[in-house]
Structure 1
């Protein structure tokens, strides 16, 4: 998985709160091979009308390829299915902006290169106003400076430093652990010397 530092992409606005992981990808699609991509399953039921046809009025049903999603509070709540993140990433999204996120969703997102960018309600409202005023304006996000810009709106956002490093380097939890491999090996060696009885067969 490749990392990223800056994006400047097409933005789409989803005016709905409490979009949970069951909505992001219905359970019936989770047995599909990931190699085929999950992008077509993103918000599958919400994007369709009563006849199963794509609803042209739904924000994500566009011929453009957005990379930034402006959502509302409690995005990604519900079950812990990582497939919800796969669906967003495979659809081309690199960032979701909302006032709040499901905790497990946020962790899964970062491990898959997707930024869960949290804004307070006031800044979020300003961002939505700017987007509605001119929806064709791109959103720029800079992980080096933690700055967000869309038209006349600009702010600095807060991001956990570990998450920032993961996104920039394309790391998941295993990759992050490997950055401390020498320290881990040093600890094991010291532990073997101090408490050899706890390591009867040594360290393989």
Structure 2
């Protein structure tokens, strides 16, 4: 995975609540294991209903509504966001399974408390071209004069900063695994 430090970008704004994984990437596009090209299908059904709906292709940050990524376990939804170029999603809350899939794939999820989220959303809606900076290093979200902090599990933070996937994390314990196998033989 690519190590995660700081991303500065315009944000795509999708404040609707309860955007589930089927809305992020409809099931009919989840037929294979190739992650490439899924970004073109991101929010396909929402775009079909409202042709004005679009996610800025230059946006690396998505500001979403509460309970983003709820619903069934569809890792393809995370893959589609990543393939589109999204590196971070900011929302008041996230679906539990989606959160695990995001962590596995290096997608940073920032849960902002109600007042901070409302302040950020208001700022971005008034100045949609303004860039936003998310720093995993400092655990901050900065836009204009706003400097908001967020909490993240320390172990997950380190994994993202180091760009480690599950195999890399396992290999960090290779010596202990080898010793255990010798002990069990």
Equivalent residue in structure 2 for 1:65, among 58, 61, 77: 58
* 1:55 equivalent in alignment to 2:51: yes
Give secondary structure in 1 for the equivalent of 2:45.
coil
Residues 5-25 of structure 1, C-alpha deviation per residue, up to 9 Å, x if partnerless? Answer: 111112011020000001111
Match of 2:4 in 1: 4
Give secondary structure in 2 for the equivalent of 1:96.
strand
Match of 1:171 in 2: 164
Distance 2:142 2:35 in 1: 34
Match of 2:31 in 1: 31
Match of 1:150 in 2: 143
Match of 1:196 in 2: none
Give TM-score scaled by structure 2 length: 0.93
* 1:78 equivalent in alignment to 2:71: yes
Question: For this pair of structures, how many residues does the alignment match?
Answer: 185
Give TM-score scaled by structure 1 length: 0.85
Cα gap change, 1:35 to 1:73, in 2 (>3 Å): closer
Distance 1:45 1:105 in 2: 19
Residue 114 of structure 1 and its aligned partner are, at CA, apart by: 0.7
Runs of 4+ in 1 over 3 A off after TM superposition: none
Unaligned 5+ runs, structure 2: none
Give secondary structure in 1 for the equivalent of 2:47.
coil
Q: Is the 8 A contact 1:137 1:151 kept in 2?
A: yes
Residue 36 of structure 1 and its aligned partner are, at CA, apart by: 3.6
Residue 185 of structure 1 and its aligned partner are, at CA, apart by: 2.1
The two structures, once aligned, show a CA RMSD in angstroms of 1.6
> Highest Rg: 1 or 2?
1
Distance 2:154 2:14 in 1: 28
